[in-house]
Amino acid sequence: MKCFARWEKDDTAGVYFRDQTILQFGDNWDLKASFILLNPGSALPKNENDQTDYLRSKNLPFFVEPQNDEKYVEFSIDRLMLDILKLFTSQFDGGSIRLYNLFNLKNQNSGEAVKQFEENKLHPKMFAKNSEIRFCDAPVIVASGGNAYQENLKTELVRHIGLAYQDNLYKLGKTAKHQFAFLKATPDETGFIDSYHPSYTFKYGNRTEIGELRT
């Protein structure tokens, strides 16, 4: 299991940004799903070694070329990533998972992250450009949780959803008490999809299953 992403620290603002996160497991790089989450969590770069050429050599349809002095580096795998990877390895022999975020500011504490977002929302690294959101023809799982109801974040979620094929949309939803799964989803009249965040559904005595997302 490996994780790669772009990484930037803004010393002036005192914030970190991670985007274009790629999780890979098993013996291939086929895109199994893309998640739309809230923001990056606790994973940190393993080192500063540039992995851009390595990823470029894979000819991945979802690979986004870094701009200017950007580069891809390898990251540690945090708890949320590991939970997602374990679930997918129970169903698939290998592949890639993309993690997109409503905003790219790194902070595993969602309350603090939303506050920092409000203070820095004009930062040029805060949001992914449309051209950087490449769902391809794989499932897109909305799993951004309740914070996505906030006005600016709801706008971002609706924008992401609008870039996906409607038939490929899923959400992390509740199926029973303490039971959650990936379920087919349809946007409401505003283009919004309600969901749970995996940091909740994989903890606190809850169980998360692959649900309607099957091979």
Please check the confidence at residue 214 and state whether its pLDDT lies above 80: no
Amino acid type, 35? F
- Which residues, 6 or more positions from 211, have their beta carbon under 8 angstroms from its beta carbon? 170, 173, 175, 181, 182, 183
Tell me whether residue 104 is in a domain: yes
Centre a 10 Å sphere on the Cβ of residue 118 and count the other Cβ atoms it contains. 11
pTM of the predicted model as reported, rounded to 2 decimal places: 0.95
Q: Quick check: is 103 in a domain?
A: yes
Residue span of the structural domain in which 112 resides:
2-209
> What would the pLDDT profile of 64-88 be if each residue is shown by its tens digit?
999 888 899 999 999 999 999 999 9
Mean pLDDT of the chain: 94
- What does the pLDDT read at residue 193? 98
| pLDDT at residue 108, rounded to an integer | 86
- Residues 97-125 have pLDDT tens digits of 999 999 999 988 888 888 889 999 899 99
Instruction: Return all residues near 34 (Cβ < 8 A) that are at least 6 apart.
Output: 62, 97, 98, 99, 100, 135, 138, 139, 140, 141
Q: How many domains does the chain have?
A: 1
Q: Is 41 among the domain residues?
A: yes
111, part of any domain:
yes
Distance CA 193, CA 36 (A): 11
